Structure 1
Amino acid sequence: MRIGLYPGTFDPITLGHLDIIRRAAVLVDRLVVGVAINRDKGPMFSLEERVAMVEAEFDDLSKQTGCEFVAHPFENLLIDCARDVNAQVIVRGLRAVADFEYEFQMVGMNRRLDDSIETVFLMAEAEHQAIASKLVKEIARLGGDVSSFVTPAVQAALQERLGAK
């Protein structure tokens, strides 16, 4: 069984994330979506809420792709998380050149730590390249419409968290 790991904070999960997940599903039999605890980022949603949001998308994705999906919270090194879930490949999404520079450094470090685990980069579809969780939260905080960036369930969670109607 080919297992991939797609890590991120997913605060919240966006249509850009779902695009990468959907496209990564053709490369592996099981895709573990690693939900990073990452307290340094000061997430809007708790780890449990972020895991629940990610898991809520799995039924439809499994039906569409035939891939098995698993949400896996983690706080350790990415390469250790990959080992923990027996992933042979780490999937990373790219939006812009700036993403590549950071990711290139990460791949180099991860290869030094364990050269048996490959990293695959997937470019987000053009319509999703500008979507970033940080910007989605900011738009929602300021009362803007985020419906073209997130699923209806995530939009409702944002509105509830922010006390919007």
Structure 2
Amino acid sequence: MRRAVCPGSFDPITNGHLDIIARASKLYDVVHVAVMINKSKKGLFEIDERIELIRQVTAEFGNVEVESFQGLLVDFCKERDIPAIVKGLRAVSDFDYELQMAQMNNGLTGVETLFVPTNPAYSFLSSSLVKEVASWGGDIAHLVPPVVLEGLNKRLAKG
């Protein structure tokens, strides 16, 4: 069985993330989405909320498993016998950082990293940018799945 992981904080998941996961789901039998926990960062959405949103927007693919993880991504891969990490690249600046991570991960455990060029429609997109635009009342409906838009609007209305 061909398995890969798409890691990230997904706070929240965007159409750019979803595009990479969808493309990976066509190439692999099982795609694990690892929602990485970073204790030093306070997210807008709790980990369980992120997982639920991702499950909802990836349900149509039929081969995506979503769970949280804290620690080294290579340990996540080793525990689940996942030989490949799939990462989307938006720009050259992403490549510099991601190449270092890929080489470190490969050196630690032999896990391979596959880089997928982001759809040009999402090349500027990040969760941070989505949250910032939404917090100022900007229209992000074309940047996130509808269920995520609804969750963002509710969360931001609470203040």
Both structures adopt the same fold (TM-score exceeding 0.5)? yes
The SS at the match of 1:163 is helix
Output the aligned Cα RMSD. 1.1
Identity %: 41
In the alignment, what sits opposite 1:93? 88
Q: CA offset at residue 11 of structure 1?
A: 0.2
In the superposition, the TM-score normalised over structure 2's length comes to 0.96
Question: Are residue 160 (structure 1) and residue 140 (structure 2) matched?
Answer: no
In the alignment, what sits opposite 2:58? 58
Gaps of 5+ in 1: 63-67
Q: CA offset at residue 39 of structure 1?
A: 2.5
- Kindly provide the amino acid, as one letter, of the partner of residue 150 in structure 1: V
The SS at the match of 1:102 is helix
Deviations 1:62-108 (A, max 9, x none): 2xxxxx11002000101001112211111111000110000011011
Deviations 1:1-58 (A, max 9, x none): 0110100000000000010011111221000000011122321100000001110112
- TM superposition outliers: structure 1 runs of 4+ over 3 Å: none
Q: Please list, as runs of the form range in 1=range in 2, the aligned pairs for 1:1-165 lying within 5 A after superposition.
A: 1-62=1-62, 68-115=63-110, 117-163=111-157
Distance in 2 (alpha carbons) for counterparts of 1:105 and 1:41: 22
Could you tell which deviates more after superposition, 94-103 or 51-60?
51-60
Distance in 1 (alpha carbons) for counterparts of 2:42 and 2:75: 23
- Kindly provide the amino acid, as one letter, of the partner of residue 108 in structure 1: Q
- Kindly provide the amino acid, as one letter, of the partner of residue 101 in structure 1: D
- In the alignment of these two chains, the number of paired residues is 158
In the superposition, the TM-score normalised over structure 1's length comes to 0.92
Distance in 2 (alpha carbons) for counterparts of 1:113 and 1:59: 32
Gaps of 5+ in 2: none
